[in-house]
Structure 1
Amino acid sequence: MPDDLVVRRETRIAAPPAAVFALLTDPEQILRWIGTEAQMDPQPGGLYLLNVTGTRFARGAFREVVPVHRLAYSFGWEGSEVVPPGSSLVEIDLIEQPDGTLLRFTHTGLPTAEQCAGHEEGWTHYIDRLAVLAGGRDPGPDPWLGRDDGRL
Protein backbone atom coordinates (compact mmCIF):
# COMPACT_ATOMS: atom_id res chain seq x y z
CA MET A 1 0.00 0.00 0.00
CA PRO A 2 1.28 3.47 -0.76
CA ASP A 3 2.72 5.10 2.33
CA ASP A 4 0.92 8.35 1.54
CA LEU A 5 -2.42 6.54 1.99
CA VAL A 6 -1.72 5.62 5.61
CA VAL A 7 -2.66 7.64 8.67
CA ARG A 8 -0.11 7.15 11.46
CA ARG A 9 0.07 8.71 14.89
CA GLU A 10 2.01 8.09 18.08
CA THR A 11 0.86 9.71 21.30
CA ARG A 12 2.13 9.42 24.84
CA ILE A 13 -0.69 9.15 27.36
CA ALA A 14 -0.26 9.66 31.10
CA ALA A 15 -2.30 6.58 32.06
CA PRO A 16 -1.70 2.83 32.17
CA PRO A 17 -2.61 0.72 29.12
CA ALA A 18 -5.62 -0.84 30.91
CA ALA A 19 -7.20 2.60 31.44
CA VAL A 20 -6.61 3.60 27.81
CA PHE A 21 -7.94 0.24 26.56
CA ALA A 22 -11.17 0.75 28.53
CA LEU A 23 -11.59 4.22 26.99
CA LEU A 24 -11.27 2.63 23.54
CA THR A 25 -13.61 -0.35 24.01
CA ASP A 26 -16.22 0.37 26.70
CA PRO A 27 -19.29 1.98 25.03
CA GLU A 28 -19.93 4.26 28.01
CA GLN A 29 -16.32 5.33 28.40
CA ILE A 30 -15.69 5.97 24.71
CA LEU A 31 -18.46 8.59 24.71
CA ARG A 32 -16.46 10.65 27.20
CA TRP A 33 -14.06 11.67 24.38
CA ILE A 34 -15.72 10.80 21.04
CA GLY A 35 -19.23 10.28 19.75
CA THR A 36 -22.83 10.41 20.87
CA GLU A 37 -23.82 6.72 20.65
CA ALA A 38 -21.75 3.55 20.69
CA GLN A 39 -22.20 -0.19 20.42
CA MET A 40 -19.00 -2.14 20.96
CA ASP A 41 -18.47 -5.88 21.18
CA PRO A 42 -14.68 -6.03 21.52
CA GLN A 43 -14.02 -9.59 20.38
CA PRO A 44 -13.04 -10.90 16.94
CA GLY A 45 -16.08 -10.52 14.68
CA GLY A 46 -17.82 -8.23 17.19
CA LEU A 47 -19.55 -5.03 16.17
CA TYR A 48 -17.84 -1.63 16.16
CA LEU A 49 -20.53 1.06 15.76
CA LEU A 50 -19.99 4.69 16.73
CA ASN A 51 -22.03 7.78 15.96
CA VAL A 52 -19.00 10.07 15.84
CA THR A 53 -20.49 13.56 15.61
CA GLY A 54 -24.18 12.91 16.17
CA THR A 55 -24.75 12.85 12.40
CA ARG A 56 -22.43 10.11 11.04
CA PHE A 57 -22.05 6.46 12.01
CA ALA A 58 -18.74 4.65 11.67
CA ARG A 59 -19.26 0.88 11.36
CA GLY A 60 -16.95 -2.08 11.26
CA ALA A 61 -16.02 -5.26 13.06
CA PHE A 62 -13.29 -6.07 15.52
CA ARG A 63 -10.64 -8.27 13.93
CA GLU A 64 -8.12 -8.55 16.74
CA VAL A 65 -8.50 -7.84 20.44
CA VAL A 66 -5.61 -8.39 22.83
CA PRO A 67 -6.84 -6.89 26.12
CA VAL A 68 -4.90 -3.82 27.23
CA HIS A 69 -2.37 -4.19 24.38
CA ARG A 70 -3.90 -4.19 20.87
CA LEU A 71 -7.06 -3.52 18.88
CA ALA A 72 -7.71 -3.92 15.17
CA TYR A 73 -11.07 -3.25 13.58
CA SER A 74 -12.51 -2.60 10.16
CA PHE A 75 -13.86 0.91 9.70
CA GLY A 76 -16.05 2.89 7.32
CA TRP A 77 -19.06 5.19 7.15
CA GLU A 78 -22.69 4.16 6.85
CA GLY A 79 -24.11 5.56 3.62
CA SER A 80 -20.69 6.28 2.10
CA GLU A 81 -19.64 4.92 -1.28
CA VAL A 82 -16.13 6.36 -0.85
CA VAL A 83 -15.30 4.76 2.53
CA PRO A 84 -18.12 2.25 3.10
CA PRO A 85 -18.52 0.32 6.36
CA GLY A 86 -15.67 -2.10 6.95
CA SER A 87 -13.59 -0.92 3.97
CA SER A 88 -10.52 0.29 5.91
CA LEU A 89 -8.55 -0.95 8.91
CA VAL A 90 -7.72 0.78 12.20
CA GLU A 91 -4.93 -0.73 14.33
CA ILE A 92 -4.08 0.53 17.81
CA ASP A 93 -1.19 -0.74 19.90
CA LEU A 94 -0.84 0.27 23.55
CA ILE A 95 2.75 -0.01 24.75
CA GLU A 96 3.43 0.32 28.47
CA GLN A 97 5.93 3.07 29.34
CA PRO A 98 7.36 4.15 32.71
CA ASP A 99 5.17 7.27 32.61
CA GLY A 100 2.04 5.71 31.09
CA THR A 101 1.26 4.42 27.60
CA LEU A 102 2.54 4.94 24.11
CA LEU A 103 -0.47 4.74 21.77
CA ARG A 104 0.60 3.71 18.27
CA PHE A 105 -2.21 4.27 15.77
CA THR A 106 -2.44 3.22 12.10
CA HIS A 107 -5.37 3.60 9.69
CA THR A 108 -4.95 1.88 6.31
CA GLY A 109 -7.16 1.15 3.33
CA LEU A 110 -8.40 4.68 2.73
CA PRO A 111 -8.89 5.22 -1.01
CA THR A 112 -7.46 8.70 -1.64
CA ALA A 113 -5.01 11.25 -0.29
CA GLU A 114 -8.00 13.54 0.40
CA GLN A 115 -9.66 10.87 2.55
CA CYS A 116 -6.36 10.27 4.38
CA ALA A 117 -6.00 13.98 5.11
CA GLY A 118 -9.56 14.26 6.43
CA HIS A 119 -9.24 11.14 8.59
CA GLU A 120 -5.83 12.27 9.86
CA GLU A 121 -7.36 15.56 10.98
CA GLY A 122 -10.20 13.71 12.68
CA TRP A 123 -8.05 11.11 14.39
CA THR A 124 -5.66 13.81 15.61
CA HIS A 125 -8.58 15.73 17.13
CA TYR A 126 -10.04 12.67 18.84
CA ILE A 127 -6.79 11.04 19.98
CA ASP A 128 -5.83 14.37 21.58
CA ARG A 129 -9.19 14.34 23.43
CA LEU A 130 -8.54 10.73 24.51
CA ALA A 131 -5.10 11.67 25.87
CA VAL A 132 -6.54 14.60 27.84
CA LEU A 133 -9.24 12.42 29.39
CA ALA A 134 -6.94 9.48 30.15
CA GLY A 135 -4.50 11.91 31.74
CA GLY A 136 -7.14 12.90 34.29
CA ARG A 137 -8.50 16.10 32.74
CA ASP A 138 -11.87 16.90 31.15
CA PRO A 139 -11.59 17.41 27.37
CA GLY A 140 -14.80 19.48 27.51
CA PRO A 141 -17.63 19.37 24.99
CA ASP A 142 -16.61 18.21 21.54
CA PRO A 143 -16.62 21.24 19.23
CA TRP A 144 -17.18 18.88 16.28
CA LEU A 145 -20.62 17.65 17.44
CA GLY A 146 -23.07 18.07 14.59
CA ARG A 147 -20.32 18.20 11.97
CA ASP A 148 -21.22 16.40 8.74
CA ASP A 149 -18.63 17.42 6.18
CA GLY A 150 -17.31 14.02 5.12
CA ARG A 151 -14.33 13.98 7.49
CA LEU A 152 -13.89 11.88 10.61
Structure 2
Amino acid sequence: MQEALVVRRETHIPAPPAALFALLTDPEKILRWMGTEAQLEPQPGGLYLVNVTGARVARGYFREVVPVHRLAYSFGWEESEEVPPGSSLVEIDLIEQPDGTLLRLTHTGLPNAEQCAGHAEGWAHYLGRLGEVAAGRDPGPDPKYGHTGRG
Protein backbone atom coordinates (compact mmCIF):
# COMPACT_ATOMS: atom_id res chain seq x y z
CA MET A 1 0.00 0.00 0.00
CA GLN A 2 1.39 3.38 -0.91
CA GLU A 3 1.75 5.76 2.01
CA ALA A 4 0.63 8.58 -0.29
CA LEU A 5 -2.79 6.93 -0.58
CA VAL A 6 -3.55 7.09 3.15
CA VAL A 7 -5.68 9.81 4.71
CA ARG A 8 -4.65 10.57 8.29
CA ARG A 9 -6.33 13.07 10.58
CA GLU A 10 -5.69 13.77 14.23
CA THR A 11 -7.70 16.21 16.27
CA HIS A 12 -8.04 16.95 19.95
CA ILE A 13 -11.65 17.24 21.11
CA PRO A 14 -12.48 18.50 24.62
CA ALA A 15 -14.91 15.68 25.40
CA PRO A 16 -14.49 12.19 26.91
CA PRO A 17 -14.03 9.18 24.60
CA ALA A 18 -17.46 7.80 25.57
CA ALA A 19 -19.19 10.97 24.32
CA LEU A 20 -17.32 10.81 21.00
CA PHE A 21 -17.97 7.10 20.62
CA ALA A 22 -21.71 7.77 20.98
CA LEU A 23 -21.53 10.56 18.37
CA LEU A 24 -19.82 8.11 15.98
CA THR A 25 -22.08 5.09 16.53
CA ASP A 26 -25.58 6.26 17.52
CA PRO A 27 -27.69 6.84 14.38
CA GLU A 28 -29.50 9.82 15.94
CA LYS A 29 -26.35 11.41 17.35
CA ILE A 30 -24.27 11.10 14.17
CA LEU A 31 -26.88 13.23 12.37
CA ARG A 32 -26.02 16.17 14.64
CA TRP A 33 -22.74 16.58 12.75
CA MET A 34 -22.92 14.51 9.54
CA GLY A 35 -25.63 13.24 7.29
CA THR A 36 -29.35 13.37 6.70
CA GLU A 37 -30.14 9.76 7.59
CA ALA A 38 -28.17 6.91 9.14
CA GLN A 39 -28.42 3.20 9.83
CA LEU A 40 -25.63 2.07 12.13
CA GLU A 41 -25.22 -1.38 13.69
CA PRO A 42 -21.96 -0.94 15.64
CA GLN A 43 -20.92 -4.57 15.97
CA PRO A 44 -18.61 -6.69 13.79
CA GLY A 45 -20.46 -7.36 10.54
CA GLY A 46 -23.06 -4.67 11.30
CA LEU A 47 -24.16 -2.15 8.71
CA TYR A 48 -22.62 1.32 8.36
CA LEU A 49 -24.89 3.44 6.15
CA VAL A 50 -24.94 7.24 6.20
CA ASN A 51 -26.55 9.53 3.65
CA VAL A 52 -23.78 12.07 4.12
CA THR A 53 -25.01 15.05 2.09
CA GLY A 54 -28.60 14.16 1.31
CA ALA A 55 -27.36 13.16 -2.15
CA ARG A 56 -24.41 10.86 -1.42
CA VAL A 57 -24.69 7.60 0.55
CA ALA A 58 -21.71 5.96 2.26
CA ARG A 59 -22.03 2.23 2.89
CA GLY A 60 -19.89 -0.41 4.52
CA TYR A 61 -19.71 -2.81 7.43
CA PHE A 62 -18.21 -2.55 10.87
CA ARG A 63 -15.12 -4.74 11.22
CA GLU A 64 -13.99 -3.84 14.72
CA VAL A 65 -15.89 -2.19 17.57
CA VAL A 66 -14.13 -1.64 20.89
CA PRO A 67 -16.55 0.52 22.91
CA VAL A 68 -15.27 4.01 23.65
CA HIS A 69 -11.81 3.26 22.19
CA ARG A 70 -11.83 2.07 18.56
CA LEU A 71 -13.95 1.66 15.43
CA ALA A 72 -13.02 0.16 12.09
CA TYR A 73 -15.44 -0.11 9.19
CA SER A 74 -15.35 -0.65 5.47
CA PHE A 75 -16.42 2.41 3.51
CA GLY A 76 -17.45 3.44 0.02
CA TRP A 77 -20.09 5.30 -1.92
CA GLU A 78 -23.25 3.86 -3.44
CA GLU A 79 -23.27 4.29 -7.23
CA SER A 80 -19.49 4.91 -7.33
CA GLU A 81 -17.15 2.94 -9.56
CA GLU A 82 -13.99 4.50 -8.09
CA VAL A 83 -14.82 3.99 -4.41
CA PRO A 84 -17.66 1.45 -4.31
CA PRO A 85 -19.33 0.45 -1.02
CA GLY A 86 -16.96 -1.35 1.31
CA SER A 87 -13.87 -0.80 -0.86
CA SER A 88 -11.85 1.24 1.64
CA LEU A 89 -11.24 1.09 5.39
CA VAL A 90 -11.82 3.78 8.03
CA GLU A 91 -10.17 3.28 11.42
CA ILE A 92 -10.87 5.63 14.32
CA ASP A 93 -9.01 5.49 17.61
CA LEU A 94 -10.18 7.52 20.62
CA ILE A 95 -7.29 8.13 23.01
CA GLU A 96 -8.22 9.56 26.40
CA GLN A 97 -6.24 12.59 27.49
CA PRO A 98 -6.47 14.70 30.67
CA ASP A 99 -8.39 17.47 28.87
CA GLY A 100 -10.43 15.42 26.40
CA THR A 101 -9.77 12.93 23.62
CA LEU A 102 -7.29 12.60 20.80
CA LEU A 103 -9.23 11.32 17.81
CA ARG A 104 -6.97 9.58 15.31
CA LEU A 105 -8.55 8.67 11.96
CA THR A 106 -6.86 6.60 9.25
CA HIS A 107 -8.60 5.98 5.90
CA THR A 108 -6.88 3.42 3.63
CA GLY A 109 -7.73 1.62 0.41
CA LEU A 110 -8.59 4.68 -1.66
CA PRO A 111 -7.69 4.18 -5.34
CA ASN A 112 -5.78 7.35 -6.24
CA ALA A 113 -4.41 10.69 -5.07
CA GLU A 114 -7.52 12.59 -6.22
CA GLN A 115 -9.79 10.43 -4.07
CA CYS A 116 -7.39 10.76 -1.12
CA ALA A 117 -7.40 14.55 -1.44
CA GLY A 118 -11.21 14.66 -1.65
CA HIS A 119 -11.68 12.35 1.33
CA ALA A 120 -9.04 14.23 3.35
CA GLU A 121 -11.00 17.44 2.76
CA GLY A 122 -14.27 15.72 3.68
CA TRP A 123 -12.87 14.22 6.89
CA ALA A 124 -11.37 17.57 7.94
CA HIS A 125 -14.78 19.19 7.39
CA TYR A 126 -16.78 16.56 9.28
CA LEU A 127 -14.31 16.10 12.14
CA GLY A 128 -14.52 19.87 12.67
CA ARG A 129 -18.30 19.57 12.89
CA LEU A 130 -17.94 16.60 15.27
CA GLY A 131 -15.73 18.73 17.51
CA GLU A 132 -18.32 21.50 17.57
CA VAL A 133 -21.10 19.10 18.59
CA ALA A 134 -18.92 17.37 21.19
CA ALA A 135 -18.20 20.79 22.72
CA GLY A 136 -21.95 21.42 23.03
CA ARG A 137 -22.21 23.82 20.11
CA ASP A 138 -24.46 23.69 17.06
CA PRO A 139 -22.31 23.46 13.91
CA GLY A 140 -25.16 24.93 11.85
CA PRO A 141 -26.37 23.72 8.46
CA ASP A 142 -23.88 21.57 6.58
CA PRO A 143 -22.49 23.53 3.59
CA LYS A 144 -21.91 20.19 1.86
CA TYR A 145 -25.65 19.40 1.91
CA GLY A 146 -26.77 18.36 -1.57
CA HIS A 147 -23.20 17.81 -2.80
CA THR A 148 -23.00 14.72 -4.99
CA GLY A 149 -19.24 14.54 -5.43
CA ARG A 150 -17.97 12.33 -8.18
CA GLY A 151 -16.37 8.94 -8.59
TM-score, with normalisation over the residues of structure 1? 0.98
Aligned-partner residue type, residue 34 of structure 1: M
Which residue of structure 1 aligns with residue 112 of structure 2? 112
TM superposition outliers: structure 1 runs of 4+ over 6 Å: none
- C-alpha deviations, 1:32-76, integer Å up to 9, x for none? 000000000000000000000000110000000000000000000
Secondary structure of the corresponding residue to residue 142 of structure 2? coil
For 1:138 and 1:78, the matched residues in 2 are separated by: 29
Unpaired runs of 5+ residues, structure 1, are none
- RMSD value, Cα: 0.8
Identity %: 78
Number of equivalenced pairs: 151
Aligned-partner residue type, residue 128 of structure 2: D
Which residue of structure 1 aligns with residue 141 of structure 2? 141
Unpaired runs of 5+ residues, structure 2, are none
CA contact (8 A) 2:56 2:149 kept: no
Which residue of structure 1 aligns with residue 63 of structure 2? 63
> Equivalences for 1:55-134 in 2 at 5 Å?
55-134=55-134
TM-score, with normalisation over the residues of structure 2? 0.98
- C-alpha deviations, 1:6-46, integer Å up to 9, x for none? 00000000100000000000000000000000000000000
